[in-house]
Amino acid sequence: MSGNKRARGQAVKLFFAASAVVLTSAAVHGHPQPQALNTAPSVHWFADWDVNTNPAPADFFPTPFANNGNVTPVKATLTTSANNNIPLGIKVGTPLSSSTATSLFGGTGYGTGHKAISYIFGDFESAGSLNGTSTNITNIKNLRQQVTSSAWTARAYVGEFALTPLTGIGTGDGQDPSRRGTGAYTEAQYKDSKVNMANTDLYPGSANFRNKSSNDWSNANIRTGLFVAPIMRMSAVQTKLDKTGDYHGSMNVADNLYINNGDGGASPQYHKQIPWVARFNNWGNIKLDSNNNAVDGYKFVPGQALPQDGLTSAQTANQMMGRGDFSAQILHYRMRGAYSVNLFSVADASTIGGNSGGGVVGYSENSARQDVRDGWYGGTGAGPLAPIANANSIFSKSDAKYATLTYNPTVDGTTDSSKKRSETSGTVWSGVYSLSIGKLDILASNLDTVDHKVKFSLDTDGDNKGGIYLSKTTNGYAYDDGTLLNLGRNALIEAGMHRLLQFDLVTTRVYKNSAGTGKFDNKQIWLLNQNYQVFTNNNRNDVGIPEPTTFGMLAAAGSMTVVCRRHRRNKQANA
């Protein structure tokens, strides 16, 4: 996207904080802009916990862990990336000395093109602390000040794992509808840290997500919580970023407006959401531990009972998220405003309960990376993923908008907002559209074990036109018979399936019956063109395990307040 327009074509509304000073690009001329990670249809860069050096896998940029003892190799990696026109990013998990910060962020950039570091992923984890401790906020705030004190990195995006502008649990504005337990950051801490990137934690299986296994999820199936809950959290963060004056919307903006937040730096006006993602990670979650024994590691085995949760073996069978489900989740994130993703990949030399790696047994890092590619842009664009190329063409338009951020859609004719419809049905939909080319793509997913019907409506009322229609009369026109579940307005999403529906903006007759007889209205409507089944690679009986760590760490995880915190590997050196 270009100019001052928000991504997805949202109206440009610059709600400036009273204390902020807005600077034009000319006022900070010569300060390098962050390199784009996401410019449809062909630019798509992702980060990865284990991608720390060059050469990096296709579509992934190295983000070496920087600390006070490895400045030289980190700078060498960044220089190689710069000379190969790869975005520059780092991870920081321990406080940097002033000399280290000056060496990394000062000077005149990296490589022959003098590129600046664009993305700094904070990963502070005070010993024994929760996400929201003041120590972590102090550390990320200091890092942010170090970054903005250099003219060369003043525009960089800085975030901290799980630090978002959400506060509390619930469905209200700025609340997290998916969370259980404690340990979340608050919006006040997000603001105080002066970060400008929300690194939302979206790990299916995490103890901080509600689920059937913890008996606080309104669907009988584990996999619906694994799939829907992270989408709910991501959407709540995006809604907050878009609506709140301090954050000014977000994704895919050419950041030619900068803001002085009082920390001495002119940083991008628009915050971005780059979440941490994984197919599965149940570290510390005893509710998804099949043998109910934290000492030997957490392992979720579909088809084995979870007696601590009151679930039988039949109730856990076929309840892991498949590879296709993970790819679908990635596309939902993109269609709801994520700028990119940071993958917490799975391979490590350590073992957990006799199984190597983390995430899913037998699931390689390369497979995880391919699933991210497949979900974001269709991967190779061949076979069943070919239709996603159409979505890429829509994303590339300057007026592209996301269709919805709802997690309470109309399902099976139910419109009662208190019913938590995505949660109760395991069904969620997302989309992207452009009025200039008259195209709308919708991804609808049903992780339940029964079929559901979904009625679509765009968040921007005026762009709904005469409505979204899915079936034609016998003479080729649209229809709406006025019933809640009529096929003219409702899409059938079969149990366990993902469907990509493509619509055209057309002017046509709309009859009041499926026969196409009697009176009709001429309307401009969104009319279904194609309906594809996508992301079908789904073995939902794979064994889920957490990230690699030590047995001592696993055994120590005894309380809910501890397990809400992601426990990362102690691997904070440039490898």
CA 305-311-314 angle, to 5 degrees, is: 65
Compute φ and ψ for 469, nearest 5 degrees.
-120, 145
Could you give the residue ranges of the DSSP H alpha helices within 378-418? 388-395
Give me 395's structure tokens: 């994303």
> What per-residue string of b and e applies to 544-553 under the rule 16 or more CB within 10 Å gives b?
bbbbbbeeee
Question: Which of left, alpha, beta for 318 (phi over 0: left; psi -120 to 50: alpha)?
Answer: left
CB count in 10 Å sphere of residue 487: 17
Residue ranges in the chain modelled with pLDDT below 50:
1-29, 128, 131, 250-266, 348-357, 549-575
The rounded distance, in Å, linking the Cα atoms of 262 and 322 is 46
The three-class DSSP label of residue 7 is helix
Where do we find the tokens 């899913």? 360
What is the tens place of the pLDDT at every residue in 131-164?
A: 457 899 999 999 999 999 998 898 899 999 999 9
What amino acid is encoded at 300 in this protein? F
The three-class DSSP label of residue 25 is helix
What is the tens place of the pLDDT at every residue in 97-133?
A: 999 999 999 988 999 999 999 999 999 987 545 545 7
Q: Tell me the residue ranges of DSSP E strands in 322-477.
A: 342-343, 351-352, 355-356, 359-360, 401-402, 410-411, 427-434, 439-446, 452-455, 468-469
Give me 443's structure tokens: 């991804």
Q: What is the pLDDT of residue 380?
A: 84
Q: What is the pLDDT of residue 248?
A: 62
In angstroms, the first-to-last Cα distance of the chain is 35
Please answer whether residues 395 and 40 qualify as being in contact, where contact means their C-beta atoms are separated by less than 8 angstroms: yes
CA atoms within 13 A on the CB side of 490: 20
- Is pTM, for the whole model, over 0.95? no
With both helix axes pointing from N to C terminus, report the angle between 222-243 and 323-335 in degrees, rounded to the nearest 10: 20
The rounded distance, in Å, linking the Cα atoms of 515 and 566 is 56
The three-class DSSP label of residue 27 is helix
Please answer whether residues 305 and 289 qualify as being in contact, where contact means their C-beta atoms are separated by less than 8 angstroms: no
Measuring CA to CA, how many Å separate 519 from each of 131, 468, 509? 61, 20, 9
Please answer whether residues 250 and 337 qualify as being in contact, where contact means their C-beta atoms are separated by less than 8 angstroms: yes
The rounded distance, in Å, linking the Cα atoms of 81 and 100 is 20
The three-class DSSP label of residue 366 is helix
